[in-house]
Amino acid sequence: MVIPEYIRRDVSELTCPPIILPAFLMQIQYLDGPRLRRSLVAACDYAQRHRNELNRINVFPVPDGDTGTNLALTVQSIADHLRANRARSVSVVANEAAQAAVLGARGNCGMMLSHFLLGFAANVDGRDRIDTAEFGRALASGARNLYEAIEKPVEGTILTVMRDTADAAELSGDPDFVPLIRLLVDHARGSLARTPDLLPVLKKAGVVDAGAMGFVSLLEGVLLLVNGDPLLAQMTPEASSGIGILATAYPGDEEQFRFCTEALVRGEGMPNQNEVREVLRDFGDSLIVIRSAEILKIHVHTDEPETVFEYLRSVGDLVTHKAEDMRAQHAAIRGSADGHITLARRPVTVVTDSAADLSEEIVRAHGIHVTPLVLIDGDQTYRDGIDITAEDFHRRLAGHEALPTTSQPAPADFLDVFARAAEEGESIVGVLTGSSLSGTFQSGEAAAARFHGVPVHLTDSRGASLLEGLLVLKACELAESAWAPEDIVVEIGRIRDQSGILFTVDTFERLISSGRVGRGRAMLGRFLGIKPILSLSQEGAVLPVGKALGSTRARTELLRLLREKVPDSVRKVRFGVVHVGIPEIVPSVTAQLRSWYGEHTEVLTAPVTSVIATHLGIGAWGVAYVVEDE
């Protein structure tokens, strides 16, 4: 096996004594919040460029070709959160990075990186700045935290490289961060080169460990920043030898379980990390549990994902959950290779737009690519969900400020999103805002006709908000179960035919401005205090289905109509509760739904996105329902 030059080092080079420079020649003597933030963002940006290579060499614990994707999505979460952070304290920045990693953690490598960062953050808690010795102790704390969290640590993985790097930092004695970072990169590369000697499956496939290589790429990103090298000018390192996943049979004798299962739970008074691990250890292997503040995150390979989810619902609010079929992923990747070396990508990636009202946790958990709709305020353009949040826009609505106009994404915007999605999937499924409500679907179609990266399959949700969002979520679940893209589109259409949304508004002003309701009807409604109950037709057009006198009766009438549309005989249904500026409506409506349909009924909640809220006004709310019965 030939190890690439960029990780091949003589071990004697790695153990030379540090050179102690006079204080006036030292370049970086301390690490504060801004320096840590810049370093982590550079590390995350550089690591994301290694996604394809990490996917290709991913053979442990199972060769499902997603380590690069999982690491990229995890570090993207870190970078996105840190770019908005302006803290001066190293403690605050470290904690923000750790919490962002937990929220965005995907796969074994993402969960392990989260534990490492949590240990690092705990060690520097309360510190405004740290020196190299304190930095070394924080790295060691991160490595220890990770080892303590893993029930069966396996050497020759990211665990080993993190520990070796931390050991090198503690033994360095160099008071200058610049030579220290160079030393750590050398030690990490040397440790990475030795991973095949510790893990036979790596040696057999002729590769180094993918997760460990991902960690090394993070350190290399920091080194590039320290050296002043522009990251965009750096080429991705030469691929390691071997053909990785494409040469590796699925280890059926070693990996007995089928589904890579992940979930995020929120709540107060949840069991601690060890208690959760004790319950879940008998359900599978590769178990990793993170308990941080009011968040519980789990990763486990199991044949019983629904049983795992049922337990998690009993301890808190199950915010996200997914179960990917690892065997099907491996088979699809090998099949797509057709006997040749190729990029290792998952079979299907899902794309939507920002009108779907999906939370950040759900978007990150499933790797959904979101195309933002646009708001235009004079010469200023805002990308929905990026430059302006739903909550910020609701405050503008409540303050009666002049509001921006809305616009669908341009085909060029979709082309950019399709290109990013194509880096992860052999094909794309897009579930977009209803064509009767917006030009978004037509814009997506125009882009799909011009895109030649991978096949694009679009489906009209004939809806918006969480009606669209719940259909997107279902498409993700089907993709994770290795459904063909054409079959996903057909199934989403079947489910949409028996699903819908009911909503009401508190004021007619925004509906008048948008032309959704006539001025005469609105004036009569305002005079009488009538609140309309609205729905979407099967074609996606807005239509009135009821009315009531006052907000209280409108709520009763909306829920009564919902009960008619979703009777007790329905076996599998999910709901979405959305609102414009009245979050207090959510708990009571959610409780009512669960009293009717079962305490563990899945109910997503969200503030209505800006481009929809501008047409509805403050006080609007609704319930989407998606029925999956066959």
Cα 179 to Cα 159: distance, rounded to the nearest angstrom: 24
One DSSP character per residue, 57-81 reads T--SS---S-HHHHHHHHHHHHHHH
pLDDT for position 420: 93
The count of C-alpha atoms lying within 13 angstroms of the C-alpha of 11, restricted to the half-sphere facing its C-beta, is 5
For each of the domains in the chain, give its residue range(s) and CATH number, in order of start.
5-245 (1.25.40.340), 259-330 (3.30.70.1150), 346-496 (3.40.50.10170), 500-627 (3.30.1180.10)
Q: List, run by run, the mean pLDDT of 10-residue segments along the chain (630 residues).
A: 41 39 61 96 94 85 77 94 93 97 92 96 97 97 94 92 96 92 96 94 90 96 85 45 49 68 94 94 91 92 94 94 81 53 71 96 94 87 88 84 82 96 92 95 97 95 97 96 94 97 81 50 52 91 89 95 95 96 96 94 95 89 96
Q: At what angle do helices 210-227 and 107-123 cross, to 10 degrees?
A: 50
CB atoms closer than 10 angstroms to residue 386: 11
Cα 155 to Cα 430: distance, rounded to the nearest angstrom: 40
Cα 419 to Cα 551: distance, rounded to the nearest angstrom: 46
Residue pair 557/532 in contact (Cβ under 8 Å)? The answer is no
Question: Cα–Cα distances in Å, from 475 out to 458, 485, 566?
Answer: 11, 9, 21
pLDDT for position 347: 85
Residue pair 182/172 in contact (Cβ under 8 Å)? The answer is no
Question: Cα–Cα distances in Å, from 496 out to 462, 470, 486?
Answer: 8, 10, 16
Residue pair 549/528 in contact (Cβ under 8 Å)? The answer is yes
Cα 123 to Cα 119: distance, rounded to the nearest angstrom: 6
Cα 48 to Cα 71: distance, rounded to the nearest angstrom: 7
Residue whose entry in the numeric block shows the structure tokens 């994902």: 305
Q: What is the pTM of this model?
A: 0.84
CB atoms closer than 10 angstroms to residue 586: 17
List, edge to edge, every strand of the sheet that includes 295-302: 284-292, 295-302, 259-266, 317-325
Q: For the CA atoms of the chain, what is the radius of gyration?
A: 26
Burial of 15 (C-beta count, 10 Å sphere; 0-12/13-18/19+): exposed
One DSSP character per residue, 533-554 reads EEEE-TTS-EEEEEEEESHHHH
Cα 498 to Cα 488: distance, rounded to the nearest angstrom: 16
Measured in whole angstroms, how far is the alpha carbon of residue 115 from the centre of its chain? 17
Cα 112 to Cα 60: distance, rounded to the nearest angstrom: 14
Residue pair 456/428 in contact (Cβ under 8 Å)? The answer is yes
Contact partners, residue 327, CB within 8 Å, separation at least 6: 250, 258
List, edge to edge, every strand of the sheet that includes 621-627: 542-549, 530-536, 500-504, 621-627, 573-579, 603-607
pLDDT for position 20: 43
Residue type, 575: F
